[in-house]
């Protein structure tokens, strides 16, 4: 990821929950200063139950059958307040 981003400024949103204290995520060993890691679930105190509640309210899944295969298509709905 760092090679692809190069020297451009980047904000990386990392989905580590508040109830996962042993997980470090991106930036644990990085020396890159142009990449900022943000942990929104941790910052908002969201654990596994809150994340699943959020997904149930904001993600719509569609199952599409193509021959012998089933495709899962999802749409995410968010609002900015």
At 37 the pLDDT is: 86
Residue whose entry in the numeric block shows the structure tokens 């295969």: 69
Residue ranges per domain, the chain? 2-76
Rounded Cα distance between 10 and 36, Å, is 6
pLDDT 10s digits, 36-60: 888 999 999 999 899 888 877 777 6
Other Cβ atoms closer than 10 A to 41: 20
pLDDT 10s digits, 18-41: 999 898 877 657 788 898 888 999
Global confidence as pTM:
0.63
């Amino acid at each position: 990821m760092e090679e692809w981003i190069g020297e451009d400024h980047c904000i990386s949103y990392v989905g580590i929950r508040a109830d996962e204290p042993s997980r470090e995520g991106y930036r644990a060993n990085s020396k890159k200063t142009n990449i900022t890691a943000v942990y929104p679930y941790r910052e908002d105190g969201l654990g596994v139950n809150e994340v699943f509640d959020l997904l149930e309210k904001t993600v719509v899944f569609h199952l599409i059958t193509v021959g012998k295969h089933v495709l899962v298509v999802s749409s995410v709905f968010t609002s900015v307040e």
